[in-house]
Structure 1
Amino acid sequence: MRTGNEPITARSPLRLRCTLAAFGFVCAAAGTAAFTVAGRTGWAVACGVLLVVTVVDLVVVVRHIRQGPHYQPGRDVPPYEPPDEP
């Protein structure tokens, strides 16, 4: 049942996003190091750019998680307001 207020009460899976960004950070850092050692400058730069993007994403996600229930409501907050019974 849709109430029409989904943008207001929508939830974001921030912890999953944080985990995926951390995994991306590790892969991009390893790729940057490996391509630098191998002498592949173009690929090293591409992985370095990806590394910067993942760091920015991690900072934003951690900031939203630390801001509390405004960005990530707990389990006791229902995802939708209960419908009004006629």
Structure 2
Amino acid sequence: MRTGSEPVTARSALRLRFWLSVWGVAWTVFGTAAFALTDRPGWALACGLLWLVMTVDLIIVIRHIRRGPHYQPGRDVPPYLPPRDPP
């Protein structure tokens, strides 16, 4: 929803988020394997759960990148009024 207070040219840094997710997946895979090999099951489980979170984030980022740009209203479109909560 456009309220008029956001920048007109605001964009999400999806490529940066993609590479940070790839970096996170690489480190969590390494951490899971390293802790599993050194017989630290608690830390391996923690890294494995983080690996799951990073993989889901990576999938979401890739999905957003593939969807492409969306309609952005120009300067000539007035801001929308924020929704009011019913009394």
Scaled by the length of structure 1, the TM-score of the pair is 0.74
Please tell me the residue identity of whatever aligns with 1:61: V
Scaled by the length of structure 2, the TM-score of the pair is 0.73
Indicate the SS of the match to 1:6. Answer: coil
Partner residue in 1 for 2:35? 35
Given that residues 8 and 75 in structure 2 are in contact (C-alpha distance below 8 angstroms), is that contact kept between their aligned partners in structure 1? no
User: What is the aligned-residue identity percentage?
Assistant: 53
Confirm or deny that 1:81 pairs with 2:75. Answer: yes
1:4-25 deviations in whole A, cap 9, x for unaligned? 2528863110000000000000
List runs of 5+ in structure 1 lacking aligned partners: none
Please tell me the residue identity of whatever aligns with 2:59: V
Structure 1 consecutive aligned stretches of length 4 or more whose deviation exceeds 4 Å: none
Q: RMSD of the alignment, in Å?
A: 2.6
1:26-61 deviations in whole A, cap 9, x for unaligned? 000000000000000000000000000000000000
List runs of 5+ in structure 2 lacking aligned partners: 77-87
Please tell me the residue identity of whatever aligns with 1:47: C
CA distance in 1, matches of 2:12, 2:75: 17
